[in-house]
Structure 1
């Protein structure tokens, strides 16, 4: 713990000792960020945590709870006392509440739902009907909406009335009588407009929105691509479900990047931070991929067994097996990583399959030719014959070209089949490259070195 946190902890602990000093804590901590409050709480005993939270304003406690895990959120709401806990729950963002309710027992969630206003309960239940990783699951209902037949003056009065409860007031979303999203007006346009002008006359009807069932990756791409502060979410009938703000998208981007990196490493994605994951949870997440890759490597063993005769005649061929397989794997990983990222950010689509494969096959050939020169010289420096050098060089050219092509194509095939490209990248490419690489190597050896086995 750094000195600032340590000093703050000591100050808080000292203030908690007497009733009089405890009452001064809200003033002492008014400049403390919610994240910092959530981060420092674990340093205190449970009783001290409750004492501290119970004297802070409900909105401050609500903001801090948004940075905690569901089990911690429920513990505080259960122990803070119902009247205060109700106020805290109602101060939390709707997307946080939805994630929280989805993570706890349904009976617990139903009990806490009753603490919300009736209209808010309906909105929360609606958001909970959408899968977690979709636009509907990410949406929040704290936005400013107005009817298209309202005047600018009426809309501004509405902003003043509910603005404190909204996530953002920069934009007012315009709805028709059926609740369908028909336009958007910026706060600047609203202030500058003639007070008697109806919103329908100056709203922007060419707005960008997403369906509630849209995947969160696509949501992140849309917000990033169009530099949006908030993205409206609509249902199949065009009715407004909620909005997704840019700060929520940053969490999505981090989550998706973490998941892809873990999949690329040959491990199932973790459901929690690494240090919070249980020992056997880490074991379960990793053992299955290791077993799958182990079985996949059986193909490599079978190929080596099949070409035992070739190896026995030219023992020096064995020296280059790790180099060739490693080079092929590296080339395949380069291509797959680039394509997976391009797919993730929308730079390429499944329709670009032929162009990408053609591009990577040519690039792989050029890379292979360059590597072949280095490999040929390496074979000569260790005392190998020219024929051995040609064998290894020809193999490198072919393996790198095949690896680049396969590495680029498999992620796109995975996307077409509805499978996360990162899932296929590691096991499939490893299996294909290792097996194909050995087969290519020994076949070149048989023909170039004139081995009859």
Structure 2
């Protein structure tokens, strides 16, 4: 990978070589770079002018790898500029799952052209994978794997791998099937290489294997790959017939997409699949404004609570000064609890059945946090606010603020930990119940608690 500080220099050098038409030097500059790095550089170049030129300068295999790493709009630009021969050459170099990903991102007229220039077997496989639900394991699998029969010898198996392996996405793990394509075992290439040539596959294969089904959630499958440290997982249908595999690179992509989506939802934004710099201002506005409008309207309740206690505030105006502190502290506490629970849910560490245990833990955390915050705040009120800033703080007023702080922290922690679990239970994405939504609820609760304590202790 090139150093980030040299990225700008590389872009300038590429543009200079393009302008001077020094194509041989440009090709030599690109050859040592990784495809992902070339794709990053392409983001800083003039797509319409430079990108097609760079693509045509690269060797066929490297060009195809770069093509996979490009953003969908750049891929579309190249496809529209390809001749039929160039398009077929690129498609022949791509793995099936990468081709499917590209087809899913392209407009209909581009998809028709891709399918038209794909060979019949590839076209059939693409259509089969596209039939699976969007977030299912079947939608991210590839059918390019090595299968063996248990009656084969090691020598026969190695010959088959040499003959078919170049077109497969991975040969690190081979899958043993019967005559009806039922999965009966797995076999690593390491085991094959260390075995004797006349050993029988059925004797050396691993019969205790882990597999996933086509309709399993893709995020669960990605987590399974990480959990068991596998490079690939076999995918079977409901009758245990082997239909494909999911590789670790696809799992990483899934987890990255899911994490990005969760972060956007937690920030009260509609998910988007485009990079930030390639998303127009209007598209960014559309992803943000719905939640902003909802949260703005929901904040009306907070205003109504304050309005209903105007008399109390007019009698003790000093109470107004501490409303922001109480609301912010409550919101922060709720966010801490919700983010922790949402993360636990996404990793499979927490289930709805753990609700009581989670609430009990957050109660203890809230008690500790609330006590420390209230103690520190009482000292600040009496020493700093009263003696230094000469605010009209009495012990009773300080008690109202500190007791409110303890109860607000407690309420915020409970709300923050329960809402994501309840959302998961009823089928909503827990990430929706993150910071902005919980903060709005906690703001209202903190004000109600504040004014109730003020009414009780100050008699207003």
User: What is the TM-score of this pair, normalised by structure 2?
Assistant: 0.91
Deviations 1:233-277 (A, max 9, x none): 222222223222222222222222222222222222222111111
In the alignment, what sits opposite 2:16?
Answer: 10
In the alignment, what sits opposite 1:306?
Answer: 308
Distance 1:428 1:55, change over 3 A: closer
Distance 1:427 1:8, change over 3 A: closer
Does residue 410 in structure 1 map to residue 435 in structure 2? no
Across the aligned residues of Structure 1 and Structure 2, the Cα RMSD in angstroms comes to 2.2
In the alignment, what sits opposite 2:38?
Answer: 37
Contact map agreement 1:99 1:132 (CA 8 A) in 2: no
User: For residues 405 and 146 of structure 2, what CA distance do their matches in structure 1 show?
Assistant: 62
Report SS of the residue matched to 2:342: helix
Contact map agreement 2:64 2:94 (CA 8 A) in 1: yes
Structure 2: gaps spanning 5 or more residues? 1-6, 387-392
Which deviates more from structure 2 when the two are superposed, residues 256-265 or residues 49-58? Answer: 49-58
User: For residues 268 and 371 of structure 1, what CA distance do their matches in structure 2 show?
Assistant: 35
User: For residues 448 and 48 of structure 2, what CA distance do their matches in structure 1 show?
Assistant: 63
Contact map agreement 2:154 2:199 (CA 8 A) in 1: yes
Distance 1:38 1:370, change over 3 A: closer
User: For residues 325 and 200 of structure 1, what CA distance do their matches in structure 2 show?
Assistant: 66
Distance 1:105 1:450, change over 3 A: same
User: For residues 48 and 440 of structure 1, what CA distance do their matches in structure 2 show?
Assistant: 63
Structure 1: gaps spanning 5 or more residues? none
Distance 1:173 1:9, change over 3 A: farther
User: What is the TM-score of this pair, normalised by structure 1?
Assistant: 0.92
1:218-367 to 2 correspondences below 5 Å:
218-367=220-369
User: For residues 184 and 86 of structure 1, what CA distance do their matches in structure 2 show?
Assistant: 34
Count of matched residue pairs: 446
By how many angstroms is 1:387 displaced? 0.9
Contact map agreement 2:338 2:433 (CA 8 A) in 1: no
By how many angstroms is 1:377 displaced? 2.2
Contact map agreement 1:54 1:80 (CA 8 A) in 2: no
Does residue 171 in structure 1 map to residue 166 in structure 2? no
Which deviates more from structure 2 when the two are superposed, residues 310-319 or residues 253-262? Answer: 253-262
User: For residues 209 and 225 of structure 2, what CA distance do their matches in structure 1 show?
Assistant: 12
1:49-448 to 2 correspondences below 5 Å:
49-381=51-383, 382-383=385-386, 384-448=393-457
Contact map agreement 2:176 2:184 (CA 8 A) in 1: yes
Distance 1:170 1:155, change over 3 A: same
Distance 1:15 1:173, change over 3 A: farther
Which deviates more from structure 2 when the two are superposed, residues 265-274 or residues 282-291? Answer: 265-274
Contact map agreement 2:235 2:242 (CA 8 A) in 1: yes
By how many angstroms is 1:149 displaced? 2.9
By how many angstroms is 1:46 displaced? 3.5
User: For residues 391 and 29 of structure 1, what CA distance do their matches in structure 2 show?
Assistant: 68
